[in-house]
Amino acid sequence: MEHAFGPLGADGVVHLRAGGTSLVVDTAGAGLPRVLHWGSDLGELSDSALVALRLSSIPQVVSSTVDRVVPLSLLPEQSRGWLGTPGVQGHRDGHDFSPAFVVDTPALDSLDGTVAHRLTVSGADADAGLGLTVELELTVSGLVRTRATLTNTSETTGYTLDAVLLALPVPTRAQEILDFTGRHLRERSPQRHAFTLGTHLREGRRGRTGADATLLLIAGAPGFSFETGEVWALHVAWSGNHRTLAERTPGGDGFLGGGELLLPGEGTLAPGAAYATPWVYGSWGRGLDEMAARFHGYLRSRAQHPVSPRPVVLNTWEAVYFHQDLGALTALADRAAEVGVERFVLDDGWFRHRRDDHAGLGDWYVDEVVWPDGLGPLVEHVRSAGMQFGLWVEPEMINVDSDLARKHPDWILATGNRLPPEARFQQVLDLANPAAYDHILERLDSLVREYAIDYLKWDHNRDLVEAGSTSHGRPGVHDQTLAVYRLIDELKARHPDLEIESCSSGGARADLGILERTDRIWASDCIDALERQQIQRWTGLLLPPELVGAHVGSPVSHSTGRAHTLTFRAGTALFGHLGVEWDLRRASPSDLAELAGWIALYKATRGLLHTGRVVHVDHPDPALLVHGVVAEDGSAGIYALVAIATSAWYPPGHVRLVGLDPDASYRLAPLEPATAVPSLGGHTPPPWWAVGVVLTGRVLAEVGVQAPNLLPDSLVLLAANRL
């Protein structure tokens, strides 16, 4: 929280420090702020050192460019000679297309709580009739975040805003990019490539975050890994269309940038109107784990972060799909309670006309045929078994085959006198239409009130295609995104204890915009443990384990057909917010007993798993993943050794276990119930396995221990406890 100089630093050079991050910003003059350094903590710097840092950062002017140094500001401006992607793109009937903002003296606040420092700059381009406010914050955990508000200050004419993108510079040594793509059932597929000159642009045009959204755009020193190599990462906290880019110019500037992707007309600003960007977050670290820890630290520091022990969930979807009836579900609830489940979630299929996925969305009344006595008997049964009750909803959607669509066909987002192509047989309800919004709010509010619902699984199962607003005909994705945020905020205000999960055909709505107002992200509809090892590994770069739904599925995966042991399924789900999605009525008594053991382990360890530091070992054998969670105070760590393929190494050699206190001694031992080393050849594990071993954190991280030979698709757990 310290800056050792006047409020505006040394001749306008501001040095903000928190969470191991230094952010040095040049605010001198009337131009927009320039970030001179974003990365490792530079230590205490005197005023003269800061002025020297600025001086030594100014490049020479070379031939065939503008005759002065071109600044890379938070919103780069062509008016200053910047010819890369501009920060503000827009015009007033073809005019005022290149703003030149003149800013006032910035305000610098040091704060308590989640945010350590905030720099606020306001300015205007009087000729262009635009006003601008930019906020730049450094959180206690060392995250940088920034957003801007642009105002049309003209009293007479509208302004057409096409984009507002915020840019954070990265050093030249960031030569490699890691970003993500994905699809239904396989979210967060990593892709790595060189950070070359030019623009690497990721656009999300699906009207939701998208399974293929990059989650983070990461640039770093070539070969960076979980443990090593400096990395810088950017995330756009927005659940609608968005842009994320990495750009490098021949002039030597490299930056990560992002913002909302506005569809034609969405940025039209009437006289006096303003547009606010989403927050754009940046994190750096030495290795991906340190970068991720800054996100985790920030999320955990928020007032709304769920701190009650994350209850074990039973979700009915892969257990019964649409085949709901009271007898089946009370039997399932009984099995669930017996194994230790704490929250029972009734998935899709409970409302009017919803016998399959062709009809019913929008008719948010309990189906009188399937549930002749309402949900009351099930809810009472669940509660009397000691569990919370959760319900699936998809409030933004509507089937054409629904009473709601028959009554209000004009509430569907569409354009050109036609309906968009259906996706999963459904259309999108225009929640920016006040009548539709009020109706849905009333329905959700009534249901939550009537059944004292603890938890909503809030789904969103289609992309927005040709999403024209029902009130003005222009694209409606921006307004829809804000309306959904408003709706959740209103519902939460009315029901402060209600928890909400963000689900979108699995993990297609994982972003910090939706997470400001929800309590968990469903990472993927694929609960095949082998796939989940990868999906959770990458989703975890942004989200800590307690926010990521992870379920134990059936013995044979419904989405891949692979068969996995319960140890592999449960040992994978253990590293998230654990749930069960399996028809336990069909599970054998021994399976139920084993599952109860896993749930007991989850309950015993969630205190550590949901507050500790997530670590991944850069293990050289691609067949073996090594990851874990270490208590913040270094008192303990839990690790998983996960064989995702057969290995070329036989036996597998040493595995290092990182993150513990180097100077403390730990007793390391296999952790029940994942102690048995699966083997077909009658091998015995390495000698230390049976007796445990005491080693220092340094030895564990530098030398490691011999790993047991594992069959593919199997795992073992290790616990390290400080002596």
- Residue 525 C-beta: closest distance to ligand DGJ, Å: 4
Closer Cβ to ligand DGJ, 284 or 317, answer by number: 317
- Residue 461 C-beta: closest distance to ligand DGJ, Å: 5
Closer Cβ to ligand DGJ, 255 or 392, answer by number: 392
- Residue 510 C-beta: closest distance to ligand DGJ, Å: 12
| N-term to C-term CA, the chain | 34
- Residue 426 C-beta: closest distance to ligand DGJ, Å: 10
Give the ranges where 188-310 is alpha helix by DSSP (H).
Answer: 288-301
- Residue 702 C-beta: closest distance to ligand DGJ, Å: 43
Closer Cβ to ligand DGJ, 177 or 503, answer by number: 503
Order of strands across the sheet with 613-616? 613-616, 624-630, 636-643, 714-722, 665-670, 693-696
- Residue 522 C-beta: closest distance to ligand DGJ, Å: 6
Closer Cβ to ligand DGJ, 459 or 713, answer by number: 459
CA distance 209 to 507: 9
Q: Which residues contact 573 (CB under 8 A, 6 or more apart)?
A: 527, 529, 532, 550, 551, 552, 579
Active-site residue, selected from the candidate residues 26, 212, 459, 519:
459
List the interface residues with ligand DGJ, window 517-556 (CB under 6 A). 522, 525
Q: What are phi and psi of 453, to 5 degrees?
A: -65, 135
Stretch that binds ligand DGJ, among 246-254, 500-508, 547-555, 658-666 (CB under 6 A): 500-508
- Give the residue, chosen from 382, 503, 710, 718, that forms a contact with ligand DGJ under the rule CB under 6 A: 503
CA distance 717 to 228: 24
Determine what percent of the chain falls in helix, strand and coil, rounding each to the nearest 5: 20, 30, 45
Torsion, Cα 427 431 433 435, to 10 degrees, reads 100
The answer to whether 179 contacts ligand DGJ (rule: CB under 6 A) is no
410 is catalytic: no
Active-site residue, selected from the candidate residues 125, 212, 525, 528:
525
- Residue 563 C-beta: closest distance to ligand DGJ, Å: 21
Q: What are phi and psi of 405, to 5 degrees?
A: -70, -35
List the interface residues with ligand DGJ, window 379-418 (CB under 6 A). 392
- Give the residue, chosen from 123, 210, 229, 506, that forms a contact with ligand DGJ under the rule CB under 6 A: 506
User: Furthest-apart CA pair in the chain: how many Å?
Assistant: 84
- Tell me the Cα Rg of the chain: 27
Site string for ligand DGJ, 446-485 (x = CB under 6 A): -------------x-x------------------------
The answer to whether 363 contacts ligand DGJ (rule: CB under 6 A) is no
- Residue 505 C-beta: closest distance to ligand DGJ, Å: 5
The answer to whether 347 contacts ligand DGJ (rule: CB under 6 A) is yes
Q: Which residues contact 162 (CB under 8 A, 6 or more apart)?
A: 89, 90, 91, 262, 267
Strand pairing of 242-248 and 254-260? antiparallel
Residue 101: strand pairing partners: none
Closer Cβ to ligand DGJ, 108 or 503, answer by number: 503
Q: Which residues contact 69 (CB under 8 A, 6 or more apart)?
A: 58, 59, 61
Closer Cβ to ligand DGJ, 340 or 506, answer by number: 506
Stretch that binds ligand DGJ, among 93-101, 494-502, 503-511, 583-591 (CB under 6 A): 503-511
Nearest to 507 by CA among 203, 207, 209: 209
- Residue 545 C-beta: closest distance to ligand DGJ, Å: 19
- Residue 504 C-beta: closest distance to ligand DGJ, Å: 7
The answer to whether 364 contacts ligand DGJ (rule: CB under 6 A) is no
SS3 of residue 625 by DSSP: strand
Stretch that binds ligand DGJ, among 72-80, 466-474, 498-506, 557-565 (CB under 6 A): 498-506
- Give the residue, chosen from 179, 187, 266, 348, that forms a contact with ligand DGJ under the rule CB under 6 A: 348
Stretch that binds ligand DGJ, among 9-17, 374-382, 501-509, 700-708 (CB under 6 A): 501-509
CA distance 668 to 654: 14
Closer Cβ to ligand DGJ, 165 or 333, answer by number: 333
Closer Cβ to ligand DGJ, 461 or 647, answer by number: 461
> Which helix or strand (DSSP H or E) is residue 329 part of?
helix 326-339
Q: Which residues contact 492 (CB under 8 A, 6 or more apart)?
A: 498, 500, 517
The answer to whether 317 contacts ligand DGJ (rule: CB under 6 A) is yes
Contact 464, 480 (CB under 8 A): yes
Closer Cβ to ligand DGJ, 462 or 478, answer by number: 462
Site string for ligand DGJ, 266-285 (x = CB under 6 A): --------------------
Shortest-Cβ-distance residue relative to ligand DGJ: 348
List the interface residues with ligand DGJ, window 182-221 (CB under 6 A). none
> Which helix or strand (DSSP H or E) is residue 535 part of?
helix 529-539
525 is catalytic: yes
- Residue 403 C-beta: closest distance to ligand DGJ, Å: 19
Stretch that binds ligand DGJ, among 94-102, 248-256, 439-447, 499-507 (CB under 6 A): 499-507
Site string for ligand DGJ, 664-703 (x = CB under 6 A): ----------------------------------------
- Residue 423 C-beta: closest distance to ligand DGJ, Å: 12
Q: Which residues contact 668 (CB under 8 A, 6 or more apart)?
A: 657, 688, 692, 693, 694, 695, 700, 705, 718, 719, 720
Closer Cβ to ligand DGJ, 286 or 509, answer by number: 509
- Residue 317 C-beta: closest distance to ligand DGJ, Å: 4
Contact 151, 132 (CB under 8 A): yes
Contact 292, 614 (CB under 8 A): yes
CA distance 159 to 58: 35
Task: Kindly determine how many residues on this chain lie close enough to bind ligand DGJ according to the rule CB under 6 A.
Answer: 11
Strand pairing of 548-552 and 520-522? parallel
Contact 188, 176 (CB under 8 A): no
CA distance 593 to 210: 38
CA distance 25 to 662: 36
Provide the 8-state DSSP code for 584: G
Closer Cβ to ligand DGJ, 153 or 505, answer by number: 505
Contact 621, 642 (CB under 8 A): no
Closer Cβ to ligand DGJ, 184 or 603, answer by number: 184
Closer Cβ to ligand DGJ, 53 or 211, answer by number: 211
Q: Which residues contact 542 (CB under 8 A, 6 or more apart)?
A: 215, 216, 235, 292, 295, 510, 512
Positions annotated as catalytic residues are 459, 525
Judged by the rule CB under 6 A, the positions of this chain that interact with ligand DGJ are 317, 347-348, 392, 459, 461, 503, 505-506, 522, 525
